[in-house]
Structure 1
Amino acid sequence: MQQTKKSYTLEEAKRKLEQYCAYQERCHKEIFEKLSQMGMIPEAIDVIIVHLIEHNFLNETRFAKQFVSGKFKIKHWGKNRIAFELKKKDISKHIIQEALKEISDEDYLASFDIITRKKADSIRESNLYKKKKKFADYFLYRGWESYLVYDKANELIK
Protein backbone atom coordinates (compact mmCIF):
# COMPACT_ATOMS: atom_id res chain seq x y z
CA MET A 1 0.00 0.00 0.00
CA GLN A 2 1.46 3.25 -1.12
CA GLN A 3 0.39 6.37 0.73
CA THR A 4 -0.16 9.42 -1.37
CA LYS A 5 0.47 12.87 0.03
CA LYS A 6 -2.63 14.96 0.53
CA SER A 7 -2.68 17.88 -1.87
CA TYR A 8 -3.95 21.26 -0.73
CA THR A 9 -5.59 24.07 -2.62
CA LEU A 10 -4.20 27.54 -2.04
CA GLU A 11 -7.12 28.47 0.24
CA GLU A 12 -6.87 25.23 2.25
CA ALA A 13 -3.16 25.79 2.76
CA LYS A 14 -3.75 29.41 3.82
CA ARG A 15 -6.31 28.34 6.44
CA LYS A 16 -4.09 25.52 7.69
CA LEU A 17 -1.10 27.85 8.04
CA GLU A 18 -3.21 30.54 9.72
CA GLN A 19 -4.09 27.98 12.39
CA TYR A 20 -0.46 26.85 12.59
CA CYS A 21 0.69 30.45 13.18
CA ALA A 22 -2.15 31.26 15.59
CA TYR A 23 -1.20 28.32 17.80
CA GLN A 24 2.31 29.68 18.48
CA GLU A 25 4.66 32.30 17.05
CA ARG A 26 6.55 31.05 13.99
CA CYS A 27 9.42 32.34 11.89
CA HIS A 28 9.52 32.51 8.10
CA LYS A 29 11.84 29.49 7.89
CA GLU A 30 9.40 27.27 9.84
CA ILE A 31 6.53 28.34 7.58
CA PHE A 32 8.57 27.72 4.44
CA GLU A 33 9.52 24.23 5.69
CA LYS A 34 5.91 23.43 6.63
CA LEU A 35 4.63 24.50 3.21
CA SER A 36 7.37 22.51 1.48
CA GLN A 37 6.37 19.41 3.47
CA MET A 38 2.79 19.99 2.36
CA GLY A 39 3.98 19.80 -1.23
CA MET A 40 3.24 23.41 -2.17
CA ILE A 41 5.00 24.91 -5.20
CA PRO A 42 7.36 27.88 -4.64
CA GLU A 43 4.91 30.40 -6.16
CA ALA A 44 2.15 29.25 -3.80
CA ILE A 45 4.56 29.37 -0.85
CA ASP A 46 5.35 33.00 -1.64
CA VAL A 47 1.66 33.90 -1.94
CA ILE A 48 0.83 32.22 1.39
CA ILE A 49 3.75 33.82 3.25
CA VAL A 50 2.77 37.26 1.96
CA HIS A 51 -0.84 36.59 3.04
CA LEU A 52 0.31 35.56 6.55
CA ILE A 53 2.47 38.67 6.91
CA GLU A 54 -0.28 41.01 5.63
CA HIS A 55 -2.79 39.54 8.08
CA ASN A 56 -0.30 39.68 10.98
CA PHE A 57 -0.10 35.91 11.48
CA LEU A 58 3.63 36.03 10.76
CA ASN A 59 5.95 38.61 12.30
CA GLU A 60 9.65 37.85 12.79
CA THR A 61 10.23 40.64 15.34
CA ARG A 62 7.36 39.38 17.48
CA PHE A 63 8.65 35.80 17.07
CA ALA A 64 12.19 36.79 18.10
CA LYS A 65 11.01 38.68 21.19
CA GLN A 66 8.83 35.76 22.29
CA PHE A 67 11.67 33.30 21.62
CA VAL A 68 14.14 35.37 23.66
CA SER A 69 11.72 35.71 26.54
CA GLY A 70 10.91 32.00 26.66
CA LYS A 71 14.44 30.69 26.34
CA PHE A 72 15.75 33.14 28.95
CA LYS A 73 12.98 32.72 31.53
CA ILE A 74 12.24 29.02 31.12
CA LYS A 75 15.43 27.39 29.85
CA HIS A 76 17.82 29.92 31.44
CA TRP A 77 19.87 30.34 28.29
CA GLY A 78 22.41 33.14 27.97
CA LYS A 79 22.39 35.73 25.20
CA ASN A 80 25.02 33.91 23.10
CA ARG A 81 22.96 30.70 22.85
CA ILE A 82 19.73 32.61 22.16
CA ALA A 83 21.39 34.63 19.39
CA PHE A 84 22.91 31.47 17.90
CA GLU A 85 19.56 29.66 17.84
CA LEU A 86 17.85 32.67 16.24
CA LYS A 87 20.58 32.82 13.56
CA LYS A 88 19.88 29.15 12.79
CA LYS A 89 16.28 30.20 12.12
CA ASP A 90 17.52 32.84 9.63
CA ILE A 91 16.49 35.82 11.77
CA SER A 92 18.36 39.02 10.83
CA LYS A 93 21.07 40.46 13.11
CA HIS A 94 19.06 43.64 13.58
CA ILE A 95 15.99 41.76 14.82
CA ILE A 96 18.14 39.57 17.09
CA GLN A 97 19.76 42.63 18.69
CA GLU A 98 16.37 44.30 19.13
CA ALA A 99 14.91 41.17 20.76
CA LEU A 100 17.87 40.71 23.11
CA LYS A 101 17.31 44.26 24.40
CA GLU A 102 14.10 42.92 25.96
CA ILE A 103 16.24 41.31 28.68
CA SER A 104 17.32 43.97 31.18
CA ASP A 105 20.88 43.79 32.47
CA GLU A 106 19.60 43.59 36.05
CA ASP A 107 17.34 40.60 35.26
CA TYR A 108 20.10 38.94 33.27
CA LEU A 109 22.68 39.16 36.05
CA ALA A 110 20.18 38.33 38.81
CA SER A 111 19.04 35.22 36.96
CA PHE A 112 22.64 34.21 36.30
CA ASP A 113 23.49 34.62 39.99
CA ILE A 114 20.55 32.43 41.10
CA ILE A 115 21.15 29.59 38.64
CA THR A 116 24.92 29.55 39.18
CA ARG A 117 24.52 29.22 42.94
CA LYS A 118 22.10 26.30 42.48
CA LYS A 119 24.40 24.59 39.99
CA ALA A 120 27.52 25.08 42.11
CA ASP A 121 25.75 23.43 45.05
CA SER A 122 24.54 20.52 42.92
CA ILE A 123 27.90 19.50 41.42
CA ARG A 124 29.22 16.50 43.35
CA GLU A 125 32.90 16.54 42.57
CA SER A 126 35.75 16.56 45.10
CA ASN A 127 38.46 17.69 42.67
CA LEU A 128 38.31 21.49 42.56
CA TYR A 129 39.50 21.80 38.95
CA LYS A 130 37.06 19.19 37.66
CA LYS A 131 34.24 20.89 39.55
CA LYS A 132 35.11 24.27 37.99
CA LYS A 133 35.30 22.66 34.55
CA LYS A 134 31.88 21.01 34.93
CA PHE A 135 30.46 24.31 36.14
CA ALA A 136 32.00 26.30 33.28
CA ASP A 137 31.04 23.77 30.60
CA TYR A 138 27.43 23.76 31.80
CA PHE A 139 27.02 27.54 31.51
CA LEU A 140 29.12 28.03 28.38
CA TYR A 141 26.99 25.45 26.57
CA ARG A 142 23.89 27.41 27.59
CA GLY A 143 25.32 30.56 26.04
CA TRP A 144 26.42 32.61 29.02
CA GLU A 145 29.35 34.97 28.44
CA SER A 146 32.69 33.39 29.32
CA TYR A 147 33.87 36.28 31.51
CA LEU A 148 30.72 35.94 33.64
CA VAL A 149 31.08 32.17 33.88
CA TYR A 150 34.74 32.12 34.87
CA ASP A 151 34.37 34.98 37.37
CA LYS A 152 31.42 33.18 39.00
CA ALA A 153 33.28 29.84 39.00
CA ASN A 154 36.20 31.43 40.85
CA GLU A 155 33.81 33.16 43.25
CA LEU A 156 31.63 30.13 44.12
CA ILE A 157 34.00 27.17 43.86
CA LYS A 158 36.86 27.29 46.34
Structure 2
Amino acid sequence: MKTSQPKPLILDKKTALLKAESWCAYQERSQQEVRNKLYEWNLFPNEVEEVISELITTNFLNEERFAYAYTSGKFKIKKWGKIKIKQGLKLKKVPDKLIQKALNGIEMDDYLAVLLATAEKKSIALTEKDMLKKKFKLVTYLQGKGFENDLIFDVLKANNLPS
Protein backbone atom coordinates (compact mmCIF):
# COMPACT_ATOMS: atom_id res chain seq x y z
CA MET A 1 0.00 0.00 0.00
CA LYS A 2 1.37 3.39 -0.98
CA THR A 3 1.36 6.33 1.41
CA SER A 4 0.75 9.58 -0.37
CA GLN A 5 3.01 12.47 0.46
CA PRO A 6 1.46 15.93 0.38
CA LYS A 7 2.38 17.51 -2.92
CA PRO A 8 4.61 20.57 -2.45
CA LEU A 9 2.84 23.79 -3.38
CA ILE A 10 4.71 25.59 -6.15
CA LEU A 11 3.44 29.02 -7.07
CA ASP A 12 4.57 31.73 -9.42
CA LYS A 13 5.23 35.21 -8.05
CA LYS A 14 1.89 36.70 -9.19
CA THR A 15 -0.20 33.90 -7.67
CA ALA A 16 1.86 33.99 -4.49
CA LEU A 17 1.25 37.74 -4.19
CA LEU A 18 -2.51 37.26 -4.47
CA LYS A 19 -2.50 34.44 -1.93
CA ALA A 20 -0.27 36.44 0.42
CA GLU A 21 -2.58 39.49 0.15
CA SER A 22 -5.52 37.31 1.09
CA TRP A 23 -3.56 35.71 3.93
CA CYS A 24 -2.47 39.10 5.30
CA ALA A 25 -5.98 40.55 4.98
CA TYR A 26 -7.33 37.74 7.18
CA GLN A 27 -5.23 38.82 10.19
CA GLU A 28 -2.15 40.90 10.96
CA ARG A 29 1.11 39.13 10.13
CA SER A 30 4.75 39.87 10.83
CA GLN A 31 7.21 40.11 7.96
CA GLN A 32 8.90 36.94 9.17
CA GLU A 33 5.62 34.96 9.13
CA VAL A 34 4.97 36.07 5.55
CA ARG A 35 8.56 35.34 4.54
CA ASN A 36 8.29 31.80 5.98
CA LYS A 37 4.98 31.22 4.18
CA LEU A 38 6.41 32.40 0.86
CA TYR A 39 9.35 30.01 1.24
CA GLU A 40 6.84 27.21 1.98
CA TRP A 41 5.31 28.05 -1.38
CA ASN A 42 8.75 27.44 -2.95
CA LEU A 43 9.44 30.97 -4.15
CA PHE A 44 13.01 32.03 -4.79
CA PRO A 45 14.63 34.43 -2.29
CA ASN A 46 14.55 37.41 -4.69
CA GLU A 47 10.84 36.75 -5.41
CA VAL A 48 10.09 36.50 -1.68
CA GLU A 49 11.61 39.92 -1.04
CA GLU A 50 9.77 41.42 -4.04
CA VAL A 51 6.43 40.08 -2.79
CA ILE A 52 7.11 41.39 0.73
CA SER A 53 8.01 44.82 -0.69
CA GLU A 54 4.78 44.85 -2.67
CA LEU A 55 2.73 43.86 0.40
CA ILE A 56 4.32 46.68 2.41
CA THR A 57 3.72 49.19 -0.40
CA THR A 58 0.04 48.23 -0.66
CA ASN A 59 -0.24 48.26 3.17
CA PHE A 60 -1.22 44.59 3.48
CA LEU A 61 1.85 44.17 5.65
CA ASN A 62 2.70 46.65 8.39
CA GLU A 63 5.10 45.62 11.16
CA GLU A 64 4.01 48.42 13.54
CA ARG A 65 0.34 47.53 13.13
CA PHE A 66 1.21 43.88 13.75
CA ALA A 67 3.14 44.72 16.94
CA TYR A 68 0.19 46.71 18.32
CA ALA A 69 -2.33 44.00 17.41
CA TYR A 70 -0.19 41.23 18.90
CA THR A 71 0.44 43.20 22.11
CA SER A 72 -3.20 44.13 22.51
CA GLY A 73 -4.45 40.60 21.89
CA LYS A 74 -2.00 38.87 24.20
CA PHE A 75 -2.60 41.40 26.97
CA LYS A 76 -6.39 41.72 26.77
CA ILE A 77 -7.29 38.14 25.86
CA LYS A 78 -4.51 35.94 27.22
CA LYS A 79 -3.64 38.26 30.16
CA TRP A 80 0.08 38.08 29.42
CA GLY A 81 2.63 40.38 31.05
CA LYS A 82 5.05 42.59 29.15
CA ILE A 83 7.99 40.18 29.43
CA LYS A 84 6.13 37.33 27.72
CA ILE A 85 4.67 39.65 25.05
CA LYS A 86 8.17 41.00 24.33
CA GLN A 87 9.54 37.46 23.94
CA GLY A 88 6.72 36.57 21.55
CA LEU A 89 7.40 39.62 19.39
CA LYS A 90 11.14 38.87 19.39
CA LEU A 91 10.39 35.36 18.13
CA LYS A 92 8.47 36.97 15.26
CA LYS A 93 11.57 39.08 14.56
CA VAL A 94 9.86 42.42 15.21
CA PRO A 95 12.41 45.26 15.69
CA ASP A 96 13.10 46.29 19.31
CA LYS A 97 12.00 49.87 18.65
CA LEU A 98 8.53 48.70 17.54
CA ILE A 99 8.29 46.24 20.45
CA GLN A 100 8.96 49.04 22.92
CA LYS A 101 6.46 51.33 21.20
CA ALA A 102 3.75 48.64 21.32
CA LEU A 103 4.43 47.80 24.98
CA ASN A 104 4.23 51.49 25.89
CA GLY A 105 0.68 51.40 24.48
CA ILE A 106 -0.46 49.36 27.50
CA GLU A 107 -1.87 51.67 30.18
CA MET A 108 -0.17 51.10 33.55
CA ASP A 109 -3.50 51.18 35.45
CA ASP A 110 -4.92 48.46 33.17
CA TYR A 111 -1.69 46.47 33.49
CA LEU A 112 -1.77 46.53 37.30
CA ALA A 113 -5.49 45.70 37.32
CA VAL A 114 -4.87 42.61 35.16
CA LEU A 115 -1.94 41.58 37.36
CA LEU A 116 -4.09 41.92 40.50
CA ALA A 117 -7.06 40.06 38.99
CA THR A 118 -4.77 37.25 37.79
CA ALA A 119 -3.09 37.02 41.21
CA GLU A 120 -6.42 36.95 43.07
CA LYS A 121 -7.86 34.28 40.76
CA LYS A 122 -4.77 32.06 41.08
CA SER A 123 -4.53 32.61 44.85
CA ILE A 124 -8.07 31.29 45.28
CA ALA A 125 -7.31 28.28 43.07
CA LEU A 126 -4.18 27.29 45.02
CA THR A 127 -4.90 24.69 47.71
CA GLU A 128 -1.51 24.92 49.41
CA LYS A 129 -1.81 25.30 53.22
CA ASP A 130 1.73 26.55 53.90
CA MET A 131 1.65 30.33 53.22
CA LEU A 132 5.29 30.48 52.12
CA LYS A 133 4.80 27.67 49.58
CA LYS A 134 1.54 29.26 48.41
CA LYS A 135 3.25 32.61 47.86
CA PHE A 136 6.12 30.89 46.00
CA LYS A 137 3.64 29.09 43.71
CA LEU A 138 1.71 32.30 43.09
CA VAL A 139 4.84 34.32 42.28
CA THR A 140 6.12 31.54 39.98
CA TYR A 141 2.77 31.47 38.16
CA LEU A 142 2.74 35.25 37.67
CA GLN A 143 6.35 35.19 36.42
CA GLY A 144 5.31 32.51 33.93
CA LYS A 145 2.57 34.83 32.69
CA GLY A 146 5.28 37.39 31.96
CA PHE A 147 4.84 39.93 34.74
CA GLU A 148 7.82 41.78 36.22
CA ASN A 149 9.11 40.69 39.67
CA ASP A 150 8.98 44.12 41.29
CA LEU A 151 5.36 44.66 40.19
CA ILE A 152 4.38 41.18 41.37
CA PHE A 153 5.74 41.77 44.86
CA ASP A 154 4.29 45.30 45.04
CA VAL A 155 0.80 44.09 44.07
CA LEU A 156 0.92 41.08 46.41
CA LYS A 157 2.10 43.22 49.33
CA ALA A 158 -0.41 46.04 48.71
CA ASN A 159 -3.34 43.62 48.53
CA ASN A 160 -2.29 41.18 51.29
CA LEU A 161 -2.01 38.25 48.90
CA PRO A 162 -1.81 35.27 49.08
CA SER A 163 -4.90 34.94 51.19
TM-score normalised to the size of structure 2? 0.91
Q: Give 1:3 deviation, angstroms.
A: 4.9
What's 2:54 paired with? 51
1:24 aligns to 2:27 (yes or no): yes
1:156 aligns to 2:156 (yes or no): no
Q: Give 1:138 deviation, angstroms.
A: 0.7
Map 1:126-145; keep pairs closer than 5 Å. 126-145=129-148
Map 1:9-158; keep pairs closer than 5 Å. 9-154=12-157, 155-157=160-162
2:38 is matched by which residue type in structure 1?
L
**Distance in 2 (alpha carbons) for counterparts of 1:123 and 1:3:** 46
Uncovered stretches (5+) of structure 1, i.e. residues with no partner: none
State the secondary structure of the residue aligned to 1:111: helix
The runs of at least 4 aligned residues of structure 1 exceeding 4 Å deviation read none
The alignment yields a C-alpha RMSD, in angstroms, of 1.4
**Distance in 1 (alpha carbons) for counterparts of 2:8 and 2:93:** 28
2:98 is matched by which residue type in structure 1?
I
**Distance in 1 (alpha carbons) for counterparts of 2:47 and 2:146:** 38
Q: Give 1:2 deviation, angstroms.
A: 5.4
Uncovered stretches (5+) of structure 2, i.e. residues with no partner: none
Q: Describe the shift of the 1:113–1:14 C-alpha distance in structure 2 as closer, same or farther (beyond 3 A).
A: same
Q: Describe the shift of the 1:104–1:12 C-alpha distance in structure 2 as closer, same or farther (beyond 3 A).
A: same
**Distance in 1 (alpha carbons) for counterparts of 2:154 and 2:126:** 17
Matched residue pairs, number?
Answer: 158
